[in-house]
Structure 1
Amino acid sequence: MTKSLLLVDLENVHKVDLSRLDESYRAIIYVGANQNPPKASRKKETAHRFTRVDFQKIEGTGKNALDFHIAFQLGRTIETAPDTLCIVLSKDKGFDPLLNHLNKNGMQCRRINSLDELVPVVIQVASVEAVPAIEVIVCKRCHKASTIEHHGGQWCTNCGCFASPPDKKLLPSLQPGFEDRSRDAEEDYAIYSVCGWCHQNTDMTGGIYDDGEWMCGGCIGRYAR
Structure 2
Amino acid sequence: MSIGVTLAAARNAAGMTVAQLSGRTRIRETVIYAIERDDFSLCGGDFYARGHVRNIAKTVGLDPDAVVHQFDEEHGGVPLPVRAAAVFQAESQIKLRERRSPNWSTAMAIALAIVAVFGVTRVMSRPGENLATGAELKNPPAPKPSATLRASTHPNAARPASDLVTLRVKANKPSWVEVSDDKGKAMFRGTMRAGDSSTWKTRKHMKVTIGNAGGVDLEVNGKHLGVPGKPGELVRKSFGPEEPGSR
For Structure 1 versus Structure 2, the TM-score category normalised by the shorter chain is under 0.3
**TM-score for both structures, normalised by structure 1:** 0.18
Determine which structure has more spread, i.e. the larger CA radius of gyration: 2
The structure whose RCO (Cα within 8 Å, separation 6+) is larger is: 1
Structure having the higher helix fraction is 2
**TM-score for both structures, normalised by structure 2:** 0.17
